[in-house]
Amino acid sequence: MYNKKTIEDVDVKGKRVLARCDFNVPMADGVITDDKRIREALPTIRYLASHGAKVILCSHMGRPKGEFNSKYSLAPVAARLTELLGQEVTLASDVIGPDAKGKAAALKDGEVMLLENVRFHKEEEKNDPAFAKELASMADIFVNDAFGTAHRAHASTAGVADYLPAVCGYLIQKEISIMGGALSNPKRPFVAILGGAKVSDKIGVINNLIEKVDTLIIGGAMAYTFNKARGHKIGISLCEDDKLDLANELLEKAKAKGVKVLLPVDNHVGDKYDPDCHDLFVDSADIPDGYMGLDIGPASVILFGYAIKGAGTVVWNGPMGVSEWDKFSQGTCGVATAVAESNAVSIIGGGDSAAAIEKLGFADRMTHISTGGGASLEFLEGLELPGIACLADKD
Ligand code: AMP
C-alpha cells in the first residue's frame, strides 16, 4: 500500500509549488457544465496558498493533439477558480514559454496562477524528459493531486518528479488511503461488484479481487460470458467467446479460494440493442433466441442486494446493464440503492456506477466516490500508478 508524503510533510512557505490537478471538466460552447473536478482540487490549493506557497497550477483538458487549440484553453477554468477561491488566478498564455516563466517568477507568496493546457505540447503524453525538466524549472516542489490521470506516465504527472521533490495533495492522499485501506485491511465481509462491458477489460481486477474479497458479484454485459461458460443459453447477448475458458478458470479459482461468486439469475432482455426494443424479463439460464440481456432482473437485484446488505466493505465498478437508457437502468439503480442503504464502507470506482449514484442523489451516502475511473480500476487491479509511484515515500 502506498504511504506517500503529502503537502503537510514539506515546508511550502515562500516556495514555488507546481501542482498538477485534474481540471479536465466537461464543457459545452466554452462553458463549464460541471465544476466538480475544480472544486475537488480546492483543499490542496487553499492549503498551499494559505501556507505561503507561490502556486503554479497545471492540468490537461480534452485531447488537443499536442498543439495550441483555443477550444481546449484553460481560460474558463482560471475564471472559475478565481470565483471559487475568492482570489485572482492568472492564466499564462503558454505552458513552458516566456509568459508562463515570467508569471511564475513574479508570483508572490500566497498567489496562484494556472499554466495553459499541458497537452498543447505533444511532449506531455510522451513523458519527454526535456519538457518535464522545463516544467520543473519553474518550481521548487511538485505536488500531484490529479488522481484521474495518475495511471498515466506523462511529463506533468510523473516526469517532473525526476527533477523536483514530489509529494501528493489531499485528493490523491484520500484516494490511496481509502482504496488502499479497503484492499489491504477490509472490514468483512468484503463484497466486490463488477459490471460493464467486457471481461477482457476486467480480468486483471477480477484476478486481484479474488485474492481479497469474500463475495464477487458480476453483472453487466460481462456476466453473459460467465453464464455461457456455465452452460446457460444467452441468446444474442454480448459474449466474448474467446474468453469462455478464462471465465471458467476464474470461477474455479474463486471456488478454490472460498470466494462466493454471484451471477445474475434473471435478466431484462431486448430484441435489439435499442432503448425502443421489444423487452422481456427472463431466467438468466434461458434467454430466448433473438434476445439479448441488457440489464439484470429484479430477482438478481434482490440476490445481490442481500449480499450487499450484509457487507462490511463494498467496492463497485461498472454498471449492471445499459444504464444510460432509463428502461435498462433499474438493475444499476437497484444495486446503487442497496449500497446506499447498507452500513458498509462503500467505494465507487468512478465512471457509469458513479454517474448512476449521482443521478439518484446517493452520492453523500457513499464512503468514497473515486475521481478517476481508469485510475481506480488500475488501483483495484493492484497495478502501480506512475503518478503516485513517483512521489516521495513517508520516512
Ligand atoms: P465499462 O466501461 O466496461 O464499465 O462498461 C460500461 C458500458 O457497458 C456502459 O456503456 C453500458 O452501456 C455497457 N453495458 C453494460 N451492460 C451491458 C449489456 N448487458 N449489454 C450491452 N452493453 C452493456
- pLDDT of 54 reads 98
Q: If you measure from the C-alpha of residue 347 to the centroid of ligand 1, how many angstroms do you get, rounded to a whole number?
A: 20
**Residue 321 CB less than 6 A away from ligand 1:** yes
* Rounded Cα gap, residues 184 and 243, in angstroms: 29
- pLDDT of 249 reads 96
Residues 82 and 190 in one domain: no
Distances 325 to 26, 190, 331 between C-alpha atoms, Å: 20, 30, 11
**Residue 352, amino acid:** D
Q: What sign for the dihedral angle of Cα 240, 313, 258, 217?
A: negative
The answer to whether residue 300 is domain-embedded is yes
DSSP 203-253: HHHHHHHHTT-SEEEE-TTHHHHHHHHTT-EETT----GGGHHHHHHHHHH
Residues 355 and 315 in one domain: yes
Residues 199 and 164 in one domain: no
**8 Å CB contact between 115 and 139:** no
Q: How far is CA 241 from the centre of its chain?
A: 28
Residues 182 and 313 in one domain: yes
- pLDDT of 371 reads 87
The answer to whether residue 226 is domain-embedded is yes
The answer to whether residue 302 is domain-embedded is yes
Residues 364 and 327 in one domain: yes
- pLDDT of 355 reads 84
Residue finishing a domain among 138, 171, 204: 171
**8 Å CB contact between 171 and 375:** no
Q: If you measure from the C-alpha of residue 246 to the centroid of ligand 1, how many angstroms do you get, rounded to a whole number?
A: 20
Which of 4, 16, 20, 37 is the catalytic position?
37
One pLDDT digit (tens) per residue for the chain, 395 residues: 899 999 999 999 999 999 999 999 999 988 999 999 999 999 999 999 999 999 999 999 999 999 999 999 999 999 999 999 999 999 999 999 999 999 999 999 999 999 999 999 999 999 999 999 999 999 999 999 999 999 999 999 999 999 999 999 999 999 999 999 999 999 999 999 999 888 888 999 999 999 999 999 999 999 999 999 999 999 999 999 999 999 999 999 999 999 999 999 999 999 999 999 999 999 999 999 999 999 999 999 999 999 999 999 999 999 999 999 999 999 999 999 999 999 999 999 977 888 888 888 999 999 999 988 889 999 999 999 999 999 999 98
Which of 97, 180, 312, 374 is the catalytic position?
374
395 C-beta neighbours (distance < 10 Å), count: 6
Q: If you measure from the C-alpha of residue 80 to the centroid of ligand 1, how many angstroms do you get, rounded to a whole number?
A: 33
Residues 318 and 197 in one domain: yes
Residues 193 and 269 in one domain: yes
**Residue 352 CB less than 6 A away from ligand 1:** yes
Give the atom of ligand 1 at the shortest distance from the alpha carbon of 220. 16
Query: Which CATH number fits the domain that encloses residue 333?
Result: 3.40.50.1260
Residues 21 and 93 in one domain: yes
**Residue 322 CB less than 6 A away from ligand 1:** yes
The answer to whether residue 387 is domain-embedded is no
Let me know if 310 is a catalytic residue: no
* Rounded Cα gap, residues 108 and 126, in angstroms: 32
Phi, psi of 79 (to 5 degrees): -65, -45
Residues 70 and 149 in one domain: yes
Give pTM, 2 decimals: 0.90
Residues 34 and 149 in one domain: yes
Choose which residue among 322, 376, 381 to substitute to test ligand 1 binding: the one with the highest number of ligand atoms within 8 A of its C-beta: 322
Residue finishing a domain among 154, 171, 188: 171
Q: How far is CA 37 from the centre of its chain?
A: 12
Domain count, the chain: 2
The whole domain housing 21 covers 7-171
- pLDDT of 1 reads 80
Q: If you measure from the C-alpha of residue 70 to the centroid of ligand 1, how many angstroms do you get, rounded to a whole number?
A: 33
**8 Å CB contact between 121 and 66:** yes
Let me know if 374 is a catalytic residue: yes
The answer to whether residue 86 is domain-embedded is yes
Residues 191 and 153 in one domain: no
Residues 157 and 204 in one domain: no
Q: What sign for the dihedral angle of Cα 102, 108, 114, 118?
A: positive
Q: If you measure from the C-alpha of residue 322 to the centroid of ligand 1, how many angstroms do you get, rounded to a whole number?
A: 5
The answer to whether residue 157 is domain-embedded is yes
Residue finishing a domain among 171, 195, 226: 171
- Mapped onto helix, strand or coil, the DSSP state of residue 101 is helix
Taking the CA atoms of residue 154, residue 160, residue 162 and residue 163 in that order, the dihedral angle to the nearest 10 degrees is 160
For the record, the C-alpha cell of 33 comes out as 457544465
- pLDDT of 352 reads 81
Give the atom of ligand 1 at the shortest distance from the alpha carbon of 318. 4
Let me know if 351 is a catalytic residue: yes
- What confidence tens digit (pLDDT) does each residue in 43-99 have? 999 999 999 999 999 999 999 999 999 999 999 999 999 999 999 999 999 999 999
Sheet with 260-262, side-by-side order of all strands = 260-262, 215-218, 190-194, 313-317, 345-348, 368-369
**Residue 84 CB less than 6 A away from ligand 1:** no
The answer to whether residue 393 is domain-embedded is no
Report which DSSP code applies to 326: G
The answer to whether residue 263 is domain-embedded is yes
